[in-house]
Chain A
Amino acid sequence: DTEVTQTPKHLVMGMTNKKSLKCEQHMGHRAMYWYKQKAKKPPELMFVYSYEKLSINESVPSRFSPECPNSSLLNLHLHALQPEDSALYLCASSQGGLAGRYEQFFGPGTRLTVL
């Protein structure tokens, strides 16, 4: 199994809602990533988990809360989002730790719309 899965595919939420994005991989990868991508822009790194520990938080607002329950699963909890948070949220994974030479495998993304 060489894929990263993400659910849901699409999500529409109000500014007062609480929702979660889910990401799963079964490749035995030990690093997992959340990216945010706006239209016609490259992905922007949000969080990195390495060996199930949060290693990088790129100054993301606290309304985004990541969680890594186990080595295969990564969640992104959303609360009190703003319309400008509407974007494609991508999950990725790579083997090993944080070494930049490991290629990242990306999921298909969750298209989030905040009303």
Chain B
Amino acid sequence: AQSVTQPDIHITVSEGASLELRCNYSYGATPYLFWYVQSPGQGLQLLLKYFSGDTLVQGIKGFEAEFKRSQSSFNLRKPSVHWSDAAEYFCAVGGYGGSQGNLLFGKGTNLSVKP
């Protein structure tokens, strides 16, 4: 069965430090992969996506993610975190299930940023 795992429920980093949020997936074919960010009480904003091609993808707000097929991972990174990056981050796989219209979300990682 398809699954998306975000192993870290909560992460705290200092402002200016680097960040890596982990995401592992289980999917039978080449997945469509997404990272979304959600600020408290807000909707989800797409940070970046991977469909095919270059395995290092650049997104908005200085985020990037690397697709590693051998490790079934799609980890999100940022070299220097800003206080405004504190939010909930969701990794998602698109196209799962018979309908192919669904997004399968991980449980999310809550990011706190220390001053």
**Residues of A bordering B, CB below 8 Å:** 4, 6, 31, 33, 40-43, 45, 48, 50, 55-56, 88, 90, 92, 97-109, 111
Contact = CB atoms under 8 A, between A and B. Distances in A.
B63 interface: no
B100 interface: yes
B95 A101 contact: yes
Given A41-B107, A42-B90, A103 B46 contact: yes
Given A41-B107, A109-B41, 18 more contacts: A4-B43, A40-B88, A40-B108, A42-B90, A43-B44, A48-B101, A55-B99, A88-B41, A90-B43, A98-B101, A99-B95, A100-B93, A100-B101, A100-B103, A103-B46, A104-B103, A106-B43, A107-B43
Nearest to B96: A100
B37 to A, nearest CB: 11
Q: Most A CB atoms within 10 A — which of B44, B96, B105, B108?
A: B44
Interface residues of B, number: 27
A98 B106 contact: no
B96 A43 contact: no
A69 B16 CA distance: 48
Nearest to A58: B102
A6 B44 CA distance: 13
A100 B43 contact: no
B45 interface: yes
Contact of A45 (B32, B90, B93, B102): B102
A31 to B, nearest CB: 6
B107 A42 contact: yes
Interface in B75-91: 88, 90
Contacts of A6: 43
Nearest to B42: A108
B74 interface: no
A64 to B, nearest CB: 18
Contacts of B46: 103-105
A101 B101 contact: no
B99 A42 contact: no
Contacts of B103: 43, 45, 100, 104
